[in-house]
Structure 1
Amino acid sequence: MRDAYVIGAGGSQYGAFPTESYRSMFRTAFESTTASVDNGIDAGDIDEAFIGMISIGGRQLGLSGPAVTEHVGLHGVPTTRLENACAASGYAVRQAVQAVRSGMADVVLAGGVEMMTDLSSDTTRYWFGVSGETEWERMAGTTFSGVYAQIASAHMAEYGTEREQLSKIAVKSHANGALNPDAHLGFECSLEQAEGAGVVADPLTLYHCCPTSDGAAAVLVASEDVVEQYTDTPVRIAGVGAASDGVGLFQRDSYTSLPATKQAAETAYEMAGVGPEDVDFAEVHDCFSIAEILAYEDLGFCEPGEGGQLIEDGVTTLEGDLPVNTSGGLKSKGHPIGATGAGQVYEAFKQLRGDAGDRQVEGAQVGLTHNVGGSGGAAVVHVLEGPEVDA
């Protein structure tokens, strides 16, 4: 099968934008993406599109994909909307890779968008909840913060993980987000602020939880047959892995690991011919700080139970051996559900081309993105290689 490359990626700012719509937000991301293609690209070059979107609040539940692609001028381009909770646009990127590798398309747009801040807290909580297990979790009153609080409590009980370690992840995420002009919460926080913030769901404080965000992101994926028409510095998507699992926590054998992440990572590593030790940086799904610790362990960056020590030792800071969430992650950059996975690939694209500015990981050649749906019902992992590796 043919290799697939990212030739362009872009996004909007993440935050609260009461004067924008999901169409206008996606236009911003799309124009940012096409502008990043070195040699330019025409709308007529795009063969297919995959759009991740939950449609928070019921927006255009049917045909929301064509609604945004037609709005940006992709007239007649076959468009599919993907809904896989918070992993929607991560799966959209995966579908784009599949379309290119299979030979059905040469250039594919993958992206996502979500508008989340113009609804009441009760309505937003409802739409968040539909991504969890409905009968035995959501209808019983459990929120996602409650679900991840259970995960955190279990991890603490089994491995001795400390709440202060969760707070150190928050401090790291905000330090990185403060360097990202697109971040929703682009400010630094202290360890004392993270520890002393109000409790959302014990043991998680406000600073252990991602914000509710508006935003959009997009990626252009091209085949090896046409990539040289668009850029001399493409980013190769070397490995892709995805997996699903029981949607509810009670359906799993353990609360301290996400099996879907482990399976997706194994597949992606095998396809790319690399291991976790080869990864130079990663964008992981840190909807809550405990989720980042689970990601360290499930992606193979450390042994089970050692994730807390990884942040204690500074390994995952911007100056560490394995920077994680250089963008600020979901915690600081924000989490517009449908856009998150594509936004992670956007950050990886910038890092691998040396375009990440003050948060650039020097010499980065292999990056990983990790996007989770719900509390682990779905996961998708991409391994990306920079132009020098591909050469």
Structure 2
Amino acid sequence: MERVLIFRGMKAYIAGVGMTRFEKPETRDWQYWDMVREAGGKALGDAGIAYTEVEQVPVGYCFQASTAGQRAAYELGLTGVPVYNVNNNCATGSTALMLARQFVEGGISDCVLALGFEKMTRGSLGSGADGGDFRSSPVARHYGVMAARHGFEATPPTAQIFGDAAREHMEKYGTTEAQLAAVGAKNHRHSAHNPYAQFQDVYTVDEILASRPVHRPLTKLQCSPTSDGAAAAVVVSERFAQRHGLGDRVVEIVAQAMTTDTEESFASGSCIDVVGRPMSREAARRVYERAGLGIEDVDVVELHDCFSINELLTYEALGMCVAGESGKLVESGATTYGGRWVVNPSGGLISKGHPLGATGIAQIAELTWQLRGEAGARQVPGARVGLAHNIGLGGAAVVTLLRADRPVALGA
């Protein structure tokens, strides 16, 4: 009997995903366009389509020059399609994906390829394009909040602002260093089963705590590394999916929202707010409202654990627990296999790696594999609904809700 996919309204679907392994910078002698050729080729192959069918290409990256998106996309073909260069700090990849979804949902295009990549340098992130002058930095206001309350030290600035948020959380709610370390231990344990992860070593909480201090209370194994890598996603319309017989492969983008900083981000003078918890909470609220679903309907989550504290703050923002209870939540085992949710089965940013422009799309790749039942040893049993959360200082927070749709028999 012929099987068809039942679609609901004007929707966008993930039809194919691909990524490179995330690696320590300078591990391989390759260029960013080599990464994109690999990741993009995998995504097109996964969808079973040719690059000639792609109508638009948003490309996300942070550390390369203007039109690097074209240079990268040209490795897939020279078809003259529009290429958009996207830069939104650590939320760059999800921003490229959001543009792809909007093109499809708006009826402008039937097939869009979202790409994200980064070729980074070894060592901690500095202040980016401003060259170290925080007065001219796009995040000067954010660091100003930190400096007013905690001072400005010689440690890496991103680690400092998130470390200070961790101190505030500990002081206000009684969160412990062991609970913060439990995030790192969980995510490193998850990545042991991910062939795309930069790290595949397993550590205990004590070993996490004993690793090199970065900015108290954060240690090295609670911090995401710099990474090289790329990821890609093919986003298609209903009619494209039907025409190409993709019903068994597609995953629905049920809802997606981006928020930026509001007055709440700065009013409290707290690093907890300035690093993005209010943005994340509002983006999640909008997604739940649009989808008619809540966090209780979600099975698997890929969230932005750039530092262990941000995973805890995001639990609270997504409604997985009330403010101040996130340390207890991770300690209870509720966010790993056998718990209420599986959070960061890929290993997250802490262990999978964090090439800024690729991160948001790599989250979508992981969720797509999970919802198709293709995640191998890290498969979340029965996963049907997945949530991705990607955030960047400066700021932007993107939350995306995905759902697996299965083909149904005609007349069923």
TM superposition score category, shorter chain reference: over 0.9
- Offset of residue 388 of structure 1: 3.2
Q: 1:186 to 1:389 in 2, by over 3 A?
A: farther
- Residues matched between the structures, number: 381
Q: CA RMSD of the aligned region, Å?
A: 2.3
Q: Is the 8 A contact 2:16 2:46 kept in 1?
A: yes
> Does residue 36 in structure 1 map to residue 46 in structure 2?
yes
Aligned residue in 2 for 1:357: 376
> Does residue 76 in structure 1 map to residue 94 in structure 2?
no
Q: Is the 8 A contact 1:149 1:203 kept in 2?
A: yes
d(CA) in 2 for partners of 1:378 and 1:252?
A: 19
Candidates 242, 246, 264, aligned match of 1:231: 246
Q: 1:267 to 1:41 in 2, by over 3 A?
A: same
Q: Is the 8 A contact 2:264 2:278 kept in 1?
A: no
d(CA) in 2 for partners of 1:35 and 1:104?
A: 23
d(CA) in 2 for partners of 1:350 and 1:125?
A: 33
Aligned residue in 1 for 2:219: 205
d(CA) in 2 for partners of 1:281 and 1:144?
A: 27
Q: Is the 8 A contact 2:39 2:232 kept in 1?
A: yes
- Offset of residue 314 of structure 1: 0.1
d(CA) in 2 for partners of 1:286 and 1:389?
A: 34
Aligned residue in 2 for 1:24: 34
- Offset of residue 389 of structure 1: 9.2
Q: Return 5+ residue gaps in structure 1 as ranges.
A: none
Aligned residue in 2 for 1:92: 96
Amino acid at match of 2:113: L
Candidates 107, 113, 118, aligned match of 2:111: 107
- Show CA shifts across 1:198-243 (max 9, x none): 2100111111101111010010000111112151221000010110
Candidates 374, 377, 389, aligned match of 2:395: 377
Q: Share of identical aligned residues, percent?
A: 39
- Offset of residue 135 of structure 1: 6.6
- Show CA shifts across 1:228-260 (max 9, x none): 215122100001011001699756554334111
Aligned residue in 2 for 1:8: 16
User: Bigger radius of gyration, 1 or 2?
Assistant: 2
d(CA) in 2 for partners of 1:153 and 1:312?
A: 18
Candidates 314, 324, 336, aligned match of 2:343: 324
d(CA) in 2 for partners of 1:378 and 1:232?
A: 32
> Given the two structures, how large is their TM-score scaled by the length of structure 1?
0.92
Q: Is the 8 A contact 2:188 2:350 kept in 1?
A: yes
d(CA) in 1 for partners of 2:344 and 2:78?
A: 32
d(CA) in 1 for partners of 2:142 and 2:349?
A: 26
d(CA) in 2 for partners of 1:43 and 1:137?
A: 43
Q: 1:132 to 1:292 in 2, by over 3 A?
A: farther
Q: Is the 8 A contact 1:365 1:389 kept in 2?
A: no
Q: 1:126 to 1:230 in 2, by over 3 A?
A: farther
Q: 1:249 to 1:240 in 2, by over 3 A?
A: closer
d(CA) in 1 for partners of 2:263 and 2:164?
A: 15
Amino acid at match of 2:86: L
- Show CA shifts across 1:326-363 (max 9, x none): 00000000000000000000000000000000010010
Q: 1:317 to 1:2 in 2, by over 3 A?
A: same
SS in 1 for 2:387: strand
Q: Is the 8 A contact 1:353 1:387 kept in 2?
A: no
Aligned residue in 1 for 2:6: none
> Given the two structures, how large is their TM-score scaled by the length of structure 2?
0.87
d(CA) in 1 for partners of 2:142 and 2:404?
A: 44
Aligned residue in 2 for 1:62: 66
Q: Is the 8 A contact 1:367 1:383 kept in 2?
A: yes
Task: Report which stretch shifted further, 171-180 or 317-326.
Answer: 317-326
Q: Is the 8 A contact 2:10 2:238 kept in 1?
A: yes
Amino acid at match of 2:49: I
- Show CA shifts across 1:307-338 (max 9, x none): 11111110001221200000000000000000
d(CA) in 1 for partners of 2:138 and 2:186?
A: 28
Amino acid at match of 2:303: V
Q: Return 5+ residue gaps in structure 2 as ranges.
A: 1-8
Candidates 147, 160, 175, aligned match of 1:161: 175
d(CA) in 1 for partners of 2:206 and 2:344?
A: 21
Q: Is the 8 A contact 2:104 2:237 kept in 1?
A: yes
Q: Is the 8 A contact 2:159 2:214 kept in 1?
A: yes
Amino acid at match of 2:208: A
d(CA) in 2 for partners of 1:145 and 1:248?
A: 22
Q: 1:3 to 1:74 in 2, by over 3 A?
A: farther
